[in-house]
Amino acid sequence: MKCYLTGLMAALLGASAQAAPGVADYERLAGELEQHLREQVLQRWFPRCVDREHGGFYAGFREDWTRVAENPKTIVYQARQTWVCAQVAQRQPERAEAFRGYAQHGLTFLDETLWDKEGGGFFWGLDACGKVSPGFGTEKHIYGISFGLYAAAGCAVALRDARALDLAQRTFRWMERHAHDAKNGGYFESFDRAGRPLLAPDGARKTGAVGARLGYKSMNSHIHLLESVTALQQAWPDPLVRERLEELLGLVRDRIAVEPGCLNLFFTPDWRAVPDHDSFGHDVETAFLLIEAAEALGRPRDEKTLRVARSLVDHALELGWDRKHGGFYDKGAAFAPAHGLEKIWWTQAEGLNALLLMHELYGRETERYWGAFLQQWAFIQKFQTDHVHGEWFNTVSEDGRAKPGQHKGSVWKAAYHNGRALLLTAERLRRLAREAR
């Protein structure tokens, strides 16, 4: 391992010292990313995860891809897999037929099973057979609702599917009726089955499905609302959708993101920040989501949005980046070195995407992002990827060691983060190659 690291770092230092990347560099890396997406992500998940008996997708897989006994159906996982399949069907013609079928399969489960025919909205989770279970109860959460919207809107655009658009519109209208905070902006987060917001702790229960205290708002939910309403704007450019996207963009950019380039995690209902750690993965992911939202609103060069997005990546590179091994650490603080040094799969994926985006925007003035992108890709290939069983390890140590026995799939680990990052970075590299000509 020591010999490998010495050679790797020498190669990376040489890469960072060379001239600016050209057509051959972009095309070679695009090919590597496309091959990795095909062999290490798509072929590992599909069709293995497709549940032909009960609908939707299996989530639980051990390290060697044997399926675990318990396989509940949660809205977040089901929506993420559905979205990925729709994107592959749209962006990769050679896989379009198979992945269109997988996306339609997932959409059917979202619409006919996870959508609550009694109270509307998506259940947070159901049992393996798609039935309400004591383990999940009937809670609904805006984080999950948002991913249902993201998948439906994504399918509407990618598949040109009328049923998907109808589901996306129903979801948005449910959010307007039950979840939008007309007084303070943003959205309430936890709900009972009838759609009534849960605004205070109830007995022993103090937090909602994604960890925010009941009655409070969270960064995590609102950046993904930004993501999903951006997708809806592309599928259905309704004036109210645009109004909500403008509102979310302003909240994430001007309230949630703060100098010197961090995201606050939790907020009171009227958007006063509650102190907590800085999540580097969410920082770099949000940089991409802010720019994507501005583009959907027709403002791709919005200076304020670009400035905040760049500050999030720069701060993560300053305090959350491993200059020795590559990769982003898990968490830290605004003005101190990282203290959560493990490296999580989704953080590395979002970092890869954000670094290349920053290179596309600012590569003419600095080689910083390109050099970090190369080092990030090298880290993912060597350490985050499981070269025995395929796909990515959930977590590795600072120097890339993975503990044995990590599950390849769970209700939180799907093909979404690394699938999206690989799709988008390969496409961006191809575009950069065309422009370099």
Query: Which pLDDT belongs to residue 19?
Result: 66
Q: Quickly list H helices, 37-123.
A: 43-45, 75-91, 96-109
50 found inside a domain: no
Token representation of residue 435: 């422009």
Residue 33: name the closest of 82, 85, 92 by CA.
92
- How many domains is the chain built from? 1
3-state secondary structure of 140: strand
364 found inside a domain: no
pLDDT digits (tens, 9 = 90+) for 325-375: 999 999 999 999 999 999 999 999 999 999 999 999 999 999 999 999 999
74 found inside a domain: yes
Residue 107: name the closest of 128, 81, 133 by CA.
81
Mean pLDDT of 23-51: 98
- In 203-308, DSSP assigns E strands to 217-218, 257-258, 262-263, 266-267, 273-274, 278-279
Print the domain residue range for 181. 69-238
Residue 138 reports pLDDT greater than 50: yes
Residue 288 reports pLDDT greater than 80: yes
CA pair distance 225, 182, nearest whole angstrom: 16
Query: Which pLDDT belongs to residue 11?
Result: 43
Query: Which pLDDT belongs to residue 7?
Result: 42
pLDDT digits (tens, 9 = 90+) for 185-243: 999 999 999 999 999 988 778 999 998 999 999 999 999 999 999 999 999 999 999 99
The mean pLDDT value of the chain amounts to 95
170 found inside a domain: yes
Residue 252 reports pLDDT greater than 60: yes
93 found inside a domain: yes
Confidence of residue 297 (pLDDT cuts 50, 70, 90): very high
346 found inside a domain: no
CA pair distance 411, 231, nearest whole angstrom: 22
Query: Which pLDDT belongs to residue 205?
Result: 85
Mean pLDDT of 175-185: 98
222 found inside a domain: yes
CA pair distance 113, 110, nearest whole angstrom: 6
95 found inside a domain: yes
How far does Cα 354 stand from its chain's mean position?
12
Query: Which pLDDT belongs to residue 170?
Result: 98
Residue 376 reports pLDDT greater than 70: yes
Query: Which pLDDT belongs to residue 203?
Result: 77
* CATH number of the domain enclosing 134: 1.50.10.10
